[in-house]
Amino acid sequence: MSDLILFWHRRDLRTSDNTGLIAAKEQTRKVVGIFCLDPNILESDDIAPVRVTYMIGCLQALQKSYVEAGSQLLILHGNPTQVIPQMAAALTAKGVFWNWDVEPYSQKRDTVIVDALKEKGIEFLDRNWDQILNVPDEIRTGTGSQYTVYSPFWKNWSTKPKAKPVPKLEDISGLTAAEMQIAQANGAIALPSAKDLGFIWDGDLVIEPGEVAALERLEEFAATGINSYQEDRNFPAVDGTSRLSAALKFGVIGIRTVWQATLEAMENSRSDETTAAIRTWQQEIAWREFYQHAMYNFPELAEGAFRETFKNFPWESNDEYYQAWCEGRTGYPIVDAAMRQMNELGWMHNRCRMIVASFFTKDLLLDPRLGEKYFMQKLIDGDLSANNGGWQWSASSGMDPKPVRIFNPASQAQKFDAEGEYIRQWVPELRSVDTGDLLTGNITPLERDALGYPQPIVDHKIQQRIFKDKYQQRKGVI
């Protein structure tokens, strides 16, 4: 057996602030990265071409980081439960290390791999937390159970100590030419493009791929945007949020590095307003963490509603509504603007994610799982825990619920897009409409026809009544 450790990257496409990778380095200088293109994921119907494009760009950058550090990143394509142990055995690696993930699929897969490695007598480091700041067991209620409501979670979580970033991987050694040949004979391939894998994305990316770009984005946001986050974050026409979500989803930036940046911004804060703004951004990081803990503690969330009332809820089935929503043709300007933004950019502003998810469930009365899936098929940052959490929050079926939270698209637009800037950007056929009417959607049928803009597919007032009736009936049953 050699002194080689393979480090298996999954949601940690970086060499700085990576706890599992540093644990490998502490054991040996000979650390080689590995990434597996998993057909179980790539061939599922939850994949967005934009996300694969971003991921491939991040892998290119990661390969470069490995070369700079003195080693290599191997790319495999196949079922990880087979190809990872096979590669480790072929290279007579002493160990395979990785960081743990909260998602049910990952945990099942990892258990199989652990067994295969054990059988071959290869060391492993599996239950290493890296992508969250505090592990689920640390954050418990007074009675020792898991939180199902965000506010008390935040109260507890925010008082717990958080680790500092760990050093960047440097000065390692990689495979020899002969070992590289063995790796190639056992499935190591050149990194394919997203197109090679069948994913076409010709648009721009909201964030440049790779660790360097993510760190630069964080630095810029922590120096400027974070100070006005409280004020700006709710307005979709304003570039007022960090746009770090894809980097955080793929672990292109370490969460400890992100937290450290918020602490430094706090130290530099000169006013109560900026301190409050930084605190608010920290709370968003805590939402991410809350949903990851939730997915870990309650893996059944991935399958459907958390609250009893919403299990077997009589959602309607209407393909016409579904298609109109997907394509941004509902006749509700703010909803259509948001859906078109996502279809074109692969990213949607958080305020709008809440508006369109509420519209999907409370106006179109469609099953949230369908909307959740469509988001996964479009978003650059599509992430099981955050997306599921956001959809269940909007559908009122999940944690921290208000029984019947319903967003009125017109008042949301009046409040958060008061000048109609966002709507005009994404729904160009409505550019000439008076702002007041644009926001309320008070556009006559004739005018809509003339502008080539659809009639509203449903009546918000009627639909919210139907939803409330369904909810009351369902509540009566259970």
| Residue 442 CB, nearest approach to ligand FAD (Å) | 27
Stretch that binds ligand FAD, among 108-116, 125-133, 285-293, 432-440 (CB under 6 A): 285-293
| Residue 117 CB, nearest approach to ligand FAD (Å) | 31
DSSP string, 95-144: EEE-----SHHHHHHHHHHHHHHHHHT-EEE-----SSSS-GGG---TTS
Question: How many binding residues for ligand FAD (CB under 6 A)?
Answer: 28
Q: Which residues of 89-113 are buried (b: 16+ CB within 10 A; e: fewer)?
A: bebebbbbbbbbbbbbebeebbeeb
By CB under 6 A, residue 245 contacts ligand FAD: yes
Q: Which residues of 169-206 are buried (b: 16+ CB within 10 A; e: fewer)?
A: beebebbeeebbeebeebbbeeeeebeebebebeeebe
The residue number with the shortest CB distance to ligand FAD is 390
Rounded distance between C-alpha atoms, residue 307 and residue 120, angstroms: 44
By CB under 6 A, residue 101 contacts ligand FAD: no
By CB under 6 A, residue 353 contacts ligand FAD: yes
By CB under 6 A, residue 293 contacts ligand FAD: no
**Strand 5-9 vs strand 73-77: parallel, antiparallel, or unpaired?**
unpaired
By CB under 6 A, residue 287 contacts ligand FAD: yes
* Dihedral over alpha carbons 247, 43, 376, 252 (to 10 degrees): 0
| Residue 394 CB, nearest approach to ligand FAD (Å) | 5
Rounded distance between C-alpha atoms, residue 301 and residue 308, angstroms: 12
Rounded distance between C-alpha atoms, residue 338 and residue 358, angstroms: 13
| Residue 81 CB, nearest approach to ligand FAD (Å) | 26
HEC letters along 415-470:
HHCCCCHHHHHHCHHHCCCCHHHHHHCCCCHHHHHHHCCCCCCCCHHHHHHHHHHH
Binding positions for FAD: 229, 241-245, 281, 284-291, 381-383
CB 89 within 8 A of CB 186: no
Rounded distance between C-alpha atoms, residue 173 and residue 169, angstroms: 11
Pattern 140-179, ligand FAD, x by CB under 6 A: ----------------------------------------
Which of 249, 340, 362, 448 lies at the binding interface for ligand FAD (CB under 6 A)? 249
Rounded distance between C-alpha atoms, residue 93 and residue 415, angstroms: 59
| Residue 376 CB, nearest approach to ligand FAD (Å) | 7
In the beta sheet, which residues pair with residue 357? Answer: none
**Smaller CB separation from ligand FAD, 7 or 375:** 375
**Smaller CB separation from ligand FAD, 78 or 240:** 240
Pattern 361-400, ligand FAD, x by CB under 6 A: --------------x---x-xxx--xx-xxx--x------
By CB under 6 A, residue 9 contacts ligand FAD: no
| Residue 189 CB, nearest approach to ligand FAD (Å) | 29
By CB under 6 A, residue 236 contacts ligand FAD: no
Tokens of 103: 């998602």
**Smaller CB separation from ligand FAD, 66 or 347:** 347
Rounded distance between C-alpha atoms, residue 461 and residue 69, angstroms: 61
**Smaller CB separation from ligand FAD, 208 or 429:** 208
Which of 34, 357, 365, 430 lies at the binding interface for ligand FAD (CB under 6 A)? 357
Positions in the binding site for ligand FAD (CB under 6 A): 233, 241-245, 248-249, 284-285, 287-288, 291, 350, 353-354, 357, 375, 379, 381-383, 386-387, 389-391, 394
